């Protein structure tokens, strides 16, 4: 991991004069469709300052005349100088962003938030459990695990999608599946077309996953209901809450703890999260509409 | 004394107490304007005492007091000639440091690119006159939220808001001690006091004393800057009987607190996030957001895009927001806090409990505004007391 990625926004790109609410200009280098409602884009800074992030962190992406949204970073943190985002179209800003062309300018503030801590998993098995677009924020952590493959025991990657057409990074998953040093399992909630793979919730894959529950760190991201069942399944296998990391999502307008929108009990998810060790937030997780 | 002689005058040391008449206060306002401050003080507007730019002590709510209770605020005749007989109104200094709306930046577009134009506006220098003790503590609370004097903590993920910090840094605060307390006041049970304390960030603190035909003010120095300003004014030394009168006034106001917050409310609320009282209060709460609009510590904001008709120019504006709005917690798929009970719980637990975890102090200063300005008179102290009482019944 680069030294810079420990930065939480205090690099020289944020000055006392501009403050943390002014975006930096980034160029859209490349943009492509991933799924019917999901696209990726590769960004490069236009201001001469470096671009960096740690796995699990997010940026605020700004579209001129439309608005700003928090989007997790999905690329490889070791690839310095470029930032890759995978985004699902869910509102005005993400829709406008999907129409970007290479060469256009996007505003970027970040990186913000906590990281997926892989250093706590030295010598242990790694389990990544992703639901739908939840694979996007997990991918940088998976890349990091690949880069330091020798540091870990088994690596298990479990991915669930609603249908085969919603399977994010399908080609890459197929490549990963062909490796001998990984256990990659995918499943869909509803089989469509000529799908011959597994059908069922991703949490079902946990029971048979090839990892040692007593010596495992699990990282999960997806809809809250999916993370809830994932945690239950992990607990049932014997993985304790202090070995499970989740990534939370809430409304965010500022990402720096001013706007209040992402509050969740005492947490500002923008600042204290989005990645949490589950035992530290288990109480809040079980309270409805907190 | 000539101007040049004045400028070499030494600052009066912190803690110095002097005595001036109403004309002395007038001279203070004039001096503040003369040295370039925008003077903000209490004045009567729309049948309420509000903060606004003032030019003279004649703008003060002279002779007015207020009668406040749950869901009610009325101006009434107070002590004849008194400047500060009223208590807190619906506004607070918050709206000058963190205005209801402020432009963050603008941008212009050209062929798929845009240039950010940072606001060039220079922060005004405000001198606030008549800031109450609870309002001083509310400023301390917001200082923590917006990272005032916490630039050193950036690497811990604490950010500073330059808009707030600039205004805050340049402001001068002249507090006034409360002569009385009202029916919705509960600062004492929130660890405050109707009289200001050193270390709470005032530059000067006034005490209004009216005895018989006597009307004068004690001015206490709270900072070097305050001491410098005061040194430029004519004054007499405070008399022993003045200090006695001030002490008596403070004791009287302390004894008049209309409401009390239950003890240990922070853990109380943490342990009762699923209490049935939230349903009960939700049946009364209109989710109107009045409490958050009058609260001197509420800091939630939205950021809006404001684009002109050509589509080539845009501005980013920060506006006050409220956790009582359904949109506040909206993410794709719907709002998180669908029910009023969840939104009221968010507001009250944040204010009294999770604020401690976030900022190391209470988000409530006991000013009572949320009680006074709630259209249905919901009382945060009663809601807390009801939860406490049910806990006691269980044990």
Q: Which of B155, B302, B342 sits opposite A289 (nearest CB)?
A: B342
The reply to whether B191 and B271 lie within a common domain is no
In this prediction, residues A178-204 reach a mean pLDDT of 95
In this prediction, residues B181-189 reach a mean pLDDT of 97
Assess whether pLDDT exceeds 60 at residue A4: no
The reply to whether B79 and B162 lie within a common domain is yes
- CB-CB under 8 Å, B336 with A65: no
Assess whether pLDDT exceeds 80 at residue B158: no
Closest-CA residue in chain A for B323?
A261
The region of weakest confidence among A47-51, B85-89, B118-122, B164-168 is B118-122
- CB-CB under 8 Å, B161 with A258: yes
The reply to whether B234 and B135 lie within a common domain is yes
A276 DSSP β-pair partners: A246
Size of chain B in residues: 395
Assess whether pLDDT exceeds 50 at residue A10: no
B334 in a domain, yes or no?
yes
pLDDT at A14: 53
B343 in a domain, yes or no?
yes
pLDDT confidence band for B111 (50 / 70 / 90): confident
Write the pLDDT tens digit of every residue in A109-143: 999 999 999 999 999 999 999 999 999 999 999 99
Is B228 strand, coil or helix? helix
The reply to whether B243 and B284 lie within a common domain is no
pLDDT at B213: 81
Class of domain A119-247: alpha beta
In this prediction, residues B262-286 reach a mean pLDDT of 97
B242 in a domain, yes or no?
yes
The reply to whether B48 and B192 lie within a common domain is yes
Q: Which one of B122, B148, B157 makes the best mutation probe of the A interface by having the most chain A beta carbons within 10 Å?
A: B157
In this prediction, residues A184-207 reach a mean pLDDT of 94
The reply to whether B289 and B153 lie within a common domain is no
Assess whether pLDDT exceeds 60 at residue B98: yes
Closest-CA residue in chain B for A265?
B354
How many Å separate Cα A186 from the centre of its chain? Answer: 17
Question: What is the rounded CA–CA span in Å between residue A37 and residue A40?
Answer: 11
Question: What is the rounded CA–CA span in Å between residue B98 and residue B88?
Answer: 18
Assess whether pLDDT exceeds 50 at residue B39: yes
pLDDT at A11: 47
Write the pLDDT tens digit of every residue in A240-263: 999 999 999 999 999 999 999 999
In which element (H, E) is residue A233 found?
helix A224-237
Assess whether pLDDT exceeds 90 at residue B211: no
Window 48-67 of A, Cβ < 8 Å to B: 64-67
pLDDT confidence band for B112 (50 / 70 / 90): confident
pLDDT at A80: 73
Q: What is the ipTM of this complex?
A: 0.91
The reply to whether B243 and B277 lie within a common domain is no
Question: What is the rounded CA–CA span in Å between residue A132 and residue A111?
Answer: 23
Q: Which of B158, B303, B336 sits opposite A250 (nearest CB)?
A: B336
Count CA within 13 A, CB hemisphere, residue B150: 20
How many Å separate Cα A184 from the centre of its chain? Answer: 18
B150 in a domain, yes or no?
yes
The reply to whether B295 and B383 lie within a common domain is yes
pLDDT confidence band for A7 (50 / 70 / 90): very low
The reply to whether B134 and B220 lie within a common domain is yes
B84 in a domain, yes or no?
yes
Sequence spans of domains, chain A: 4-111, 119-247
The reply to whether B145 and B202 lie within a common domain is yes
The reply to whether B164 and B220 lie within a common domain is yes
Count CA within 13 A, CB hemisphere, residue B331: 18
State the smallest CA–CA distance between residue B277 and chain A in angstroms: 15
Cis peptide before A111 (omega within 30 of 0): yes
- Whether A261 contacts chain B with CB within 8 A: yes
Q: Locate the DSSP E strands across B271-393.
A: 301-307, 313-320, 330-331, 334-335
pLDDT at A88: 97
Name A72's Cβ contacts closer than 8 Å, sequence gap at least 6.
Answer: A56, A57, A58, A85, A136, A137, A247, A274
- Whether B380 contacts chain A with CB within 8 A: no
Assess whether pLDDT exceeds 70 at residue B223: yes
Q: Give per-residue burial for B343-355: e unless 16+ CB within 10 Å, then b.
A: bbbbbbbbbbbbb
The reply to whether B235 and B195 lie within a common domain is yes
Assess whether pLDDT exceeds 50 at residue B1: no
Question: What is the rounded CA–CA span in Å between residue B62 and residue B79?
Answer: 9
CA distances, B143 to each of A203, A258, B97, B138 (Å) = 45, 11, 10, 9
Task: State what percent of residues in chain B have pLDDT above 90.
Answer: 87
pTM of the model: 0.93
B315 in a domain, yes or no?
no
Write the pLDDT tens digit of every residue in B304-360: 999 999 999 999 999 999 999 999 999 988 999 999 999 999 999 999 999 999 999
Q: Which numeric CATH code is attached to A4-111?
A: 2.40.30.10
B313 in a domain, yes or no?
no
Q: How many domains does chain B have?
A: 2
- CB-CB under 8 Å, A256 with B107: no
Residue ranges making up the domain that contains B289: 265-300+325-394
Assess whether pLDDT exceeds 50 at residue A5: no
Q: Do residues B328 and B350 touch, judged by C-beta distance below 8 A? A: no
B151 in a domain, yes or no?
yes
- Whether B339 contacts chain A with CB within 8 A: yes
Assess whether pLDDT exceeds 60 at residue B153: no
Question: Which residues of chain A have a CB within 8 Å of the CB of B316?
Answer: 21, 68
Assess whether pLDDT exceeds 50 at residue A6: no
pLDDT at B295: 98
Q: Which one of B94, B114, B298, B360 makes the best mutation probe of the A interface by having the most chain A beta carbons within 10 Å?
A: B114
Name B224's Cβ contacts closer than 8 Å, sequence gap at least 6.
Answer: B11, B14
Assess whether pLDDT exceeds 70 at residue B286: yes
């Amino acid at each position: 991991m680069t030294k810079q990625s420990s930065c939480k926004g205090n690099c020289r790109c944020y000055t006392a004069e501009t403050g943390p609410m002014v975006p930096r200009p980034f160029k859209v280098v490349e943009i492509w469709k991933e799924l019917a409602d999901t696209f990726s884009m590769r960004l490069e800074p236009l201001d001469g300052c470096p671009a960096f992030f740690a796995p699990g962190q997010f940026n605020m992406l700004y579209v001129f005349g439309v608005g700003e949204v928090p989007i997790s970073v999905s690329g490889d943190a070791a690839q310095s100088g470029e930032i890759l985002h995978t985004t699902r179209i869910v509102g005005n800003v993400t829709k406008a962003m999907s129409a970007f062309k290479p060469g256009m300018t996007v505003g970027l503030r970040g990186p913000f938030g906590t990281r997926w801590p892989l250093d706590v998993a030295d010598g242990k098995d790694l389990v990544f459990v992703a639901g739908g677009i939840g694979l996007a924020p997990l991918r940088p952590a998976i890349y990091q695990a690949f880069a330091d493959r020798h540091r870990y025991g088994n690596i298990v990657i479990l991915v669930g999608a609603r249908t085969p057409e919603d399977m994010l990074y399908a080609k890459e998953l197929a490549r990963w599946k062909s490796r001998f040093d990984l256990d990659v399992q995918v499943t869909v909630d509803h089989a469509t077309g000529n799908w011959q793979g597994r059908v069922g919730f991703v949490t079902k894959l946990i029971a048979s996953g090839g990892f040692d529950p007593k010596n495992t760190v699990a990282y999960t991201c997806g809809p809250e209901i999916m993370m809830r069942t994932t945690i239950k399944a992990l607990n049932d296998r014997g993985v304790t809450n202090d070995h499970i990391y989740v990534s939370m999502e809430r409304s965010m307008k500022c990402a720096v703890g001013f706007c209040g929108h992402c509050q969740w009990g005492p947490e500002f998810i923008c600042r204290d999260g989005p990645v949490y060790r589950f035992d530290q937030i288990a109480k809040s997780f079980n309270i409805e509409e907190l | 004394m000539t101007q040049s002689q004045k400028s070499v005058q030494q600052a009066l040391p912190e803690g110095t107490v002097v005595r001036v008449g109403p004309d002395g206060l007038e001279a203070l306002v004039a001096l503040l304007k003369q040295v370039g401050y925008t003077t903000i003080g209490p004045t009567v507007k729309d049948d309420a005492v509000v903060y606004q730019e003032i030019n003279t002590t004649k703008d003060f709510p002279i002779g007015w007091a207020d009668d406040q209770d749950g869901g009610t605020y009325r101006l009434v005749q107070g002590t004849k000639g008194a400047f500060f007989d009223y208590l807190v109104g619906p506004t607070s200094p918050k709206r000058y440091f963190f205005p209801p709306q402020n432009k963050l930046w603008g941008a212009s577009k050209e062929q798929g690119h845009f240039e950010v134009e940072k606001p060039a506006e220079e922060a005004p220098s405000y001198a606030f006159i008549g800031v109450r003790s609870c309002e001083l503590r509310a400023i301390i609370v917001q200082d923590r939220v917006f990272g005032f004097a916490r630039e050193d903590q950036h690497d811990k993920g604490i950010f500073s808001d330059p808009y707030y910090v600039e205004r805050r840094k340049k402001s001068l605060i002249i507090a006034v001690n409360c002569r009385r307390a009202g029916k919705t006041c509960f600062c004492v049970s929130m660890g405050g006091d109707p009289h200001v304390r050193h270390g709470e960030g005032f530059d000067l603190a006034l005490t209004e004393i009216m005895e018989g035909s006597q009307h004068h003010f004690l001015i206490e120095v709270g900072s070097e800057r305050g001491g410098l300003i005061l040194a430029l004014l004519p004054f007499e030394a405070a008399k022993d009987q003045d200090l006695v009168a001030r002490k008596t006034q403070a004791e009287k106001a302390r004894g008049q607190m209309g409401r009390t917050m239950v003890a240990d409310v922070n853990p109380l609320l943490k342990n009762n996030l699923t209490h049935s009282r939230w349903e009960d209060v939700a049946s009364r709460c209109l989710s109107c957001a009045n409490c958050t609009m009058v609260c001197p510590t509420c800091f939630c904001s939205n950021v809006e895009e404001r684009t002109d008709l050509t589509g080539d120019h845009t501005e980013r504006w920060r506006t006050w927001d409220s956790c009582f709005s359904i949109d506040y917690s909206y993410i794709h798929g719907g709002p998180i806090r669908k029910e009023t009970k969840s939104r009221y719980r968010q507001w009250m637990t944040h204010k009294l409990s999770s604020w401690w975890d976030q900022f190391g102090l209470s988000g409530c200063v006991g000013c009572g505004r949320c009680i006074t300005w709630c259209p249905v008179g919901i009382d945060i102290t009663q809601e807390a007391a009801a939860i406490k009482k049910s806990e006691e019944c269980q044990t």
